[in-house]
Chains A and B, each alone.
Chain A
Amino acid sequence: MLIKLFKYDFAALGRLLAPISGVLLILSAALGFNLRGEFNLENWTMIPIILGVLLLFLVFFAFMLTFVLTITRFRQNLLGNQGYLSFSLPVSTAEHIAGKFLASLLWFILIGIVSGACFFIVATLSTPEILRKLTLPYIRQFLAELDLTISLTDVLITLLLSASSGLLHIYASIAIGHLWQKHSTLLGIIAYVVLSIINSRVLFYLSRTPFFAAHYTGASIAFYLVFSLIYAFICWIILERRLNLE
């Protein structure tokens, strides 16, 4: 059932996000072609400038849209009129939360990949020599020269858990808002702010401990994992015990 829920949530978010991603990729290709051999600033026309600004704006818009759609999908599909359908399905509350969480997380990742691909497309179409340089040995050497003290895997895991924690933070806030039907939006916003303050205060004090400094990556991963579980529990317990669809 979780896979089915995920499928429908992913498709629902994709109604807007898939076309936006397509537009981003097309726009970046157009910008890349327009910038070909145009890096002499005196020769620049307005077109690449406009396309560049438009691309940056659209990347920002895509992330904001993903954020907004995550919130509206959760609210409408579980706590709005569609909640009468969702909660009549032979599916547990935990499966509902997990389906939406996984679909939203995957779209955030995809939008991030598309945004990265856009800049890659602009760079390689405008300067095709870049493609010849981008061999695996070159990339390895580039990363080695960066002298990273942490592994790329650790960075990716931390980013993933940070995104997960962020999403579940939103869900927990919406669930808390549901406790006060008349002003659910206001209470949800207040809950989001309060939980953010608690989150940042805990991180502030933890980061000053010797343990955190000595094991920064592991401690960060543990921090985001613990808060993800706390937010997921808050969301689940409210929807499981205090659901009241109007």
Chain B
Amino acid sequence: MNRITCHDLTKKYGSKTALDHVNLELESGQIVGLLGPNGSGKTTLIKLCCRLLQPTSGEILINGQKPGKASKASIAFLPDRDFLPDYMRVSQLVTYYADFFRDFDRERAHQLLSSLQIDEKTPLKRLSKGNREKTQLVLTMSRQAEIYILDEPIAGVDPAARDFILRTIIANYEKNALVLISTHLIADVEPYLDRILFLKNGQFVLDGDKKQICAERGMSIDALFREEFEC
């Protein structure tokens, strides 16, 4: 089933074109790497999927429908910033997610937080940056969603934390779901990806199966990225 479909999708901010007539079909049951340099349009595409933006022209469909209340219930979104109210305790945030998302697995969240030794009685603002990011990830991945959209999930954390985050994502996502990961840290994410999308100046310059691309080009995705986006 096509989870995310884009038909001639365009987004402009004034005179600047962030996405330029892109077409895309992403199916369930795969981990997709959305890769590109800063300003290539990755976050714009993600925001359009999550209905945080409206397209200038064209169409985007989530599970065959326009983004809205229903699609938000099926998308677990992890943005690239601190987005949770920091005055709330971790336990309150678990309750918050359980209140609004029917697919939220409380037990999984408690187990993951416990394994990270994060005290649920602690307000978010008293946690270290790394633990805050892990808490955000735990809440997102404790959802049994149909689509996971993770915007730079491993940026700004140490290598050990990156490994943990990636292992958590792989271990906890629903296997029939679509996982869309946007990142600069390609070498870390590459082993887990099924499909690759290279986005440059608002257009896809590469779209295909990771193993096939690596075999055809005779290089890793990380090396290919450096070649494609050489400054």
B193 to chain A, nearest CB (A): 24
Name the B residues within 8 Å of A92 (CB-CB). Answer: 69
Interface residue from A77, A242, A245 paired with B54 (Cβ < 8 Å): A242
The answer to whether B99 and A15 touch across the interface, beta carbons within 8 angstroms, is no
Name the B residues within 8 Å of A81 (CB-CB). Answer: 81-83
With CB as the reference atom, state the residue of chain B lying closest to A87: B52
B57 to chain A, nearest CB (A): 14
The answer to whether B83 and A90 touch across the interface, beta carbons within 8 angstroms, is no
Q: How many residues of A contact B (CB 8 A)?
A: 22
B138 to chain A, nearest CB (A): 14
The answer to whether A84 and B100 touch across the interface, beta carbons within 8 angstroms, is no
The A212-246 residues at the B interface (CB cut-off 8 A) are 241-245
Whole-angstrom CA separation of A77 from B84 in the bound complex: 9
The A115-144 residues at the B interface (CB cut-off 8 A) are none
Question: Is B218 interfacial (CB 8 A cutoff)?
Answer: no
Report whether over half of chain A's contact residues are helix, strand or loop; otherwise say mixed: loop
Interface residue from B53, B70, B79 paired with A243 (Cβ < 8 Å): B53
Whole-angstrom CA separation of A203 from B39 in the bound complex: 48
The B41-90 residues at the A interface (CB cut-off 8 A) are 47, 50-54, 69-70, 72-73, 75, 77, 79, 81-85, 87
Question: Is B229 interfacial (CB 8 A cutoff)?
Answer: no
Whole-angstrom CA separation of A92 from B70 in the bound complex: 10
A88 and B50 in contact (CB under 8 A), knowing A8-B96, A82-B83, A82-B85? Answer: yes
Question: Is B101 interfacial (CB 8 A cutoff)?
Answer: yes
The answer to whether A1 and B100 touch across the interface, beta carbons within 8 angstroms, is yes
The answer to whether B51 and A90 touch across the interface, beta carbons within 8 angstroms, is no
- Partner-A contacts on B (CB < 8 A): 13, 47, 50-54, 69-70, 72-73, 75, 77, 79, 81-85, 87, 96, 99-101
